[in-house]
Amino acid sequence: MPLHAQKKGKAGEEEMCKWLLKNLSIDVARNMKQSRGKGSDIVLEDFLIEVKRREILSLDVWWHQVVIAQKTYEKAEGLIPIVAYRQNRKPWMFLMPAKLIHGCELGYVIATEKVFIQFARSLING
């Protein structure tokens, strides 16, 4: 991976950590092991989050990546796979499992920041 891409990836992950603290009061750090194929960028109590800061979207590829991480990461059992992505000058968007919606078993749905915050708070607050 080119150095510029690594720096942008790290910056996106750190930005998401700050976003989680600001919006959900979750203080978390990047998963430093993900570069060696061990999990996703951010691992929380309820979520396995893959972070993308890209202009060109590859939603299906990213979704596949987080689903594979969820299946192969030994500590991911029961965690909900999430892709958090953001383009320049745009808000964060989130890919969430479609199975969270009654009757949908495959794929993902796209959620805005507000929807993800509401969903995450409902899990956190039990």
Summarised one tens digit per residue, pLDDT across range 76-86 is 788 999 999 99
Beta strands in 1-126, from DSSP E residues, in sequence order: 42-43, 47-53, 80-86, 93-97, 108-112
One CATH from 3.40.1350, 2.30.30, 1.25.40, 3.40.50 for 3-124 = 3.40.1350
- The SS3 call for residue 112 is strand
> pTM of the full predicted structure?
0.88
Distance CA 57, CA 69 (A): 19
* Mean pLDDT for the chain overall: 87
**Do 55 and 88 form a contact (C-beta atoms < 8 A)?**
yes
Q: How much of the chain, in percent, has pLDDT values that exceed 90?
A: 63
Backbone angles phi, psi at 49, to 5 degrees: -110, 125
Summarised one tens digit per residue, pLDDT across range 13-43 is 999 999 999 999 999 876 644 444 556 799 9
Does residue 99 carry a pLDDT above 80? yes
**Residue count of the chain:** 126
